[in-house]
Each structure stands twice: as C-alpha cells, then as structure tokens.
Amino acid sequence: MSEHTFLSRSPEETERLGEGLAKRLRAGDVVALSGELGAGKTTLVRGIARGLGAKGEEVASPSFTIINEYPGSPPLYHIDFYRLERLEELTEIGYWEYLGGEGIVVIEWADRIPEAIPPASIWLTLRFRQGDEREIRVKGEGEMFRRIVEELMRRG
C-alpha cells in the first residue's frame, strides 16, 4: 500500500481539498476517513459534497443518523461508524447496498470496523498539527489512489 502526506492550513483549505477530490472521485469509489474528534473529517466531506453539486452547508456528521445521502452527480453517501461496534450492525443499516453502486461512499470513523472497508478504497487520516493545521495522510493503491494523490499534489 502506498502512502502520501499533505498539509492543510485551515478548515477552509480542508474543505477546498474536498471539493478538488470530488472532481477525481467516480461512482462506486469508497473513501475511508479516520482521525480524532474535531480533526476535520466532516469538513472534508462538506467539500466533497459541494464538489459533487450538493449544498455543502447542509452537510452534517451522521453520528446519530448513521447515513446521510446528498444528491449530486454522482450522489454522495456519507456514513459514520462512530456509534457502531460490530460488522453485523452494518447489515442492519443497509451498508452493503451502498457499496459498488451509483454513488460515492465516504465513511467517517472507518477505523472502527476496518474489515468493512473494500480493499480498493483509499484511506485518509486527518491529524492535528499546530493551530488549524491538519496533516492528511492518504493510503491506498491502484487507479483511484493515483487520482486522489494527483489532485492533492496539484493543490499542494
């Protein structure tokens, strides 16, 4: 698995990175997010939603609803594993039906049930740095990983 690390200097920059990533994502792609509470996962998803044509200001963490769907081209399925503990719970919420479909799936707290993440997914880990700065570590392989790294390097 390959890895690249990037720096975001503000929440606004993290959101813009999400918008840029949206242009590189395709239907069926899965993006797994991890990072501490407040690290910027939902901010990144807000940018992805805006980049896909949804109203980014309406994007909220789905910690209690578990899945939020946003219309776009393609649609965005924003899933949160924070309150989940077992693989079986994913079947109960219909998680498997979202994978490989017509939309893009972005999962917050994906590291809570890593066995549920398809192998071709990319992982973005957000970490606190100084002030509003965040380190964004991207791990993956294959064509989707290349597309994402190219976008982040372009915005670099």
Residues 101-131 pLDDT 10s = 899 999 999 999 999 999 989 999 999 999 8
Cα angle 37-26-63, degrees, rounded to a multiple of 5: 25
User: Which CATH code for domain 2-155?
Assistant: 3.40.50.300
Residues 2-28 pLDDT 10s = 888 889 999 999 999 999 899 889 999
Map out the domains of the chain as residue ranges: 2-155
Assessment of whether the complete model's pTM goes beyond 0.75 = yes
